[in-house]
Structure 1
Amino acid sequence: MRTRASLAVFAVAGITALTGLTATSAHASGSGDTKITKVVVNGGKNVVIGTSGAKTFTVAVTAQDNSGIKRADINIQGPSSGFFQPTKAVKCTPAGKAATCTATFTVDPRVDLYTNALAGVWYVDTWVDAKDGDFYTTEKAGSFKLQREGKLTVNASPEPVKKGKTLTVTGKLTRAHWDVFGDNKWVAHGNQSVKLEFRKKGAKSFTTVKTVKTSKSGDLKTTLKASVDGDWRWNFAGYSSHAAVASGVDFVDVK
């Protein structure tokens, strides 16, 4: 059964406190020769979550012991007392003295993500039992990023445009906002550096033309001289708590 990121939310003249499962300080212990050799979360990709729609991902922990691996418990914990348990029983696939134990997690932003503070670096907690009674446990077997999803638009005008004339490229950067009542929405992502990129007609890759900062309302706007036909787009690199995102492309015909 999935456990919510928080245990309870108390309302006193509005929301005044959020309490949850508290992650303890980092600790590892064990017995015998049991050890963890690899941890892979979501296939090695960041876990990106928007405003609606549950996100399902896996955590695969590979461990070994001379006698073989019997079972494993896997949980994940993050900032703001975030804590999740698997939605399915952990399954271990043996391979000689080692085994890869996989846990499946499902996170619904409307139910499980009560604050934006849950975005950031998360850790994998695991306990591994060997067939001979040995074990190994650690609160930080691996780490990954659980990020707020972003959206980015682009518009280049006028279309078509005469060569040498001014071309204006605009856009807007927004991000997922997680709310304690599940009233999630997309909000402006202001004061962020975003690259304006161009791909000449017939070319395979984009090149950076300039970097522009979003306004307080998340808006982007810049001007330049039109020279050749091609695609324009904005590209946001993201950071620890926010996912990278590129806009679609807007092709401009230069006459």
Structure 2
Amino acid sequence: MRIRATVAAVSGALALSALAVPAAQAVGDSGTPYTLNAGFSNLSIAKAVKVGTTNEVSVKYTYTLTHGTDVDITAKDFYTDAFLYKGSYSDSAPELYGDADSATCTATSSTTATCTGSVDIYPADGDLKSVWAGSWSVAAEAVAFNGQSTTNPDLSKVGYKDQSGLATTLVQRNSTLTANAGPEPVAKGKTLTVTGKLSRANWDDNLYHGYAGQPVKLQFRKAGTSTYTTVKTVSTDSSGNLKTTTTANYDGYWRFSFAGTSTTPAVSATGDYVDVK
């Protein structure tokens, strides 16, 4: 079973609406779940997650599960996990889960455990929309079936607990940046033209498109040194393109560098070496 436990309104009462193998749903025919004697704290997750257009991205998390002595977290039909949600915590909010049935929990006392798991994102399968880029929140949940069937349980005998607002992370549209300086070689003191393009993933069509109207730094690293220095700041055009001129005085590497936004990660182009004659 792949746990997709959520709480939804069924006939005006709370019921488990999604405890399922993928694409299947299971709702009990009697009662409502009781509140499981459990809580969640100390949730840790990456500050930002870069997601492109094709490759799966997996982000790990850990949290502390606190539970009553009446809750058997070692039972085969006990499940717990953490997941991401966008916006307000509700049944209609976009959510991202992990592939595993449950997080892996290691008891640290008779009533606490450290749980680890991952959220697995598949952009090519439509897990994301571009408008969802930015801040996501993290919730955790636990369900104890207590011997009940997972396909048609007596919900009054099933315990469930969820908790939202445990942490936040940025789910960002992956970015790319190029730089090309010329002519090569160039005479000392002459004009050098540097072009490039800033692009980012579009989760709606699974392609990369230019990122318009963004400030990008032109930077130079003199040959034999290890540090880039900012020469000027230019902005991308409506197609994400960059073009600027500078004066060539020393052999070295030219690149563009983008500081990033809440929806798009920082990125620097590979330096392009120019020989000054």
For this structure pair, what is the TM-score category when the shorter chain's length is used for normalisation? 0.7 to 0.9
1:91 aligns to 2:104 (yes or no): yes
> Measured at CA, do residues 192 and 2 of structure 1 come closer, stay the same or move farther in structure 2, by a change above 3 Å?
farther
2:86 corresponds to: 78
Which of these residues, 184, 187, 191, is aligned with residue 213 of structure 2? 191
Q: Which amino acid aligns with 1:50?
A: G
1:52 corresponds to: 54
Task: Summarize deviations over 1:220-242 as a string: whole Å, max 9, x none.
Answer: 01111111111111111111111
Task: Summarize deviations over 1:120-177 as a string: whole Å, max 9, x none.
Answer: 1111111369xxxxx9742110010000011111000011111100011110011111
How many angstroms does 1:186 deviate by?
A: 1.0
Contact 2:39 / 2:67 at 8 angstroms: preserved in 1? yes
Rounded to whole Å, the distance in 2 between the matches of 1:50 and 1:152 is 14
1:210 aligns to 2:253 (yes or no): no
How many angstroms does 1:38 deviate by?
A: 2.1
Rounded to whole Å, the distance in 2 between the matches of 1:123 and 1:85 is 12
1:143 corresponds to: 168
1:121 aligns to 2:123 (yes or no): no
Q: Which amino acid aligns with 1:119?
A: A
- 1:13-32 to 2 correspondences below 5 Å: none
Tell me, what secondary structure is at the counterpart of 1:110?
helix
> Measured at CA, do residues 136 and 106 of structure 1 come closer, stay the same or move farther in structure 2, by a change above 3 Å?
closer
Rounded to whole Å, the distance in 2 between the matches of 1:136 and 1:73 is 11
TM-score after normalising by structure 2 = 0.70
Q: Which amino acid aligns with 2:169?
A: F
Q: Which amino acid aligns with 1:49?
A: V
Percent of residue pairs identical: 38
How many angstroms does 1:94 deviate by?
A: 3.1
Decide which structure has greater strand share.
1
Q: Which amino acid aligns with 2:51?
A: I
How many angstroms does 1:72 deviate by?
A: 3.6
1:104 aligns to 2:118 (yes or no): yes
Which of these residues, 244, 256, 259, is aligned with residue 234 of structure 1? 256
Contact 1:69 / 1:99 at 8 angstroms: preserved in 2? no
1:159 corresponds to: 184
Rounded to whole Å, the distance in 1 between the matches of 2:229 and 2:161 is 48
Q: Which amino acid aligns with 1:91?
A: T
Q: Which amino acid aligns with 1:221?
A: K
How many angstroms does 1:190 deviate by?
A: 0.6
1:24 corresponds to: none
Q: Which runs of 5+ in 2 are unaligned?
A: 5-34, 74-78, 144-159
Q: Which runs of 5+ in 1 are unaligned?
A: 4-29, 130-134
How many angstroms does 1:114 deviate by?
A: 4.7
Tell me, what secondary structure is at the counterpart of 2:123?
coil
Q: Which amino acid aligns with 1:245?
A: V
Contact 1:61 / 1:101 at 8 angstroms: preserved in 2? yes
Rounded to whole Å, the distance in 1 between the matches of 2:203 and 2:124 is 8
Q: CA RMSD in A?
A: 2.9
Tell me, what secondary structure is at the counterpart of 1:117?
helix
Task: Summarize deviations over 1:178-236 as a string: whole Å, max 9, x none.
Answer: 12xxx411111110001111111111221111111000011101111111111111111
> Measured at CA, do residues 106 and 2 of structure 1 come closer, stay the same or move farther in structure 2, by a change above 3 Å?
farther
Contact 1:230 / 1:253 at 8 angstroms: preserved in 2? yes
Contact 1:69 / 1:94 at 8 angstroms: preserved in 2? no
Contact 1:78 / 1:118 at 8 angstroms: preserved in 2? yes
Rounded to whole Å, the distance in 2 between the matches of 1:38 and 1:53 is 29
Tell me, what secondary structure is at the counterpart of 2:261?
coil
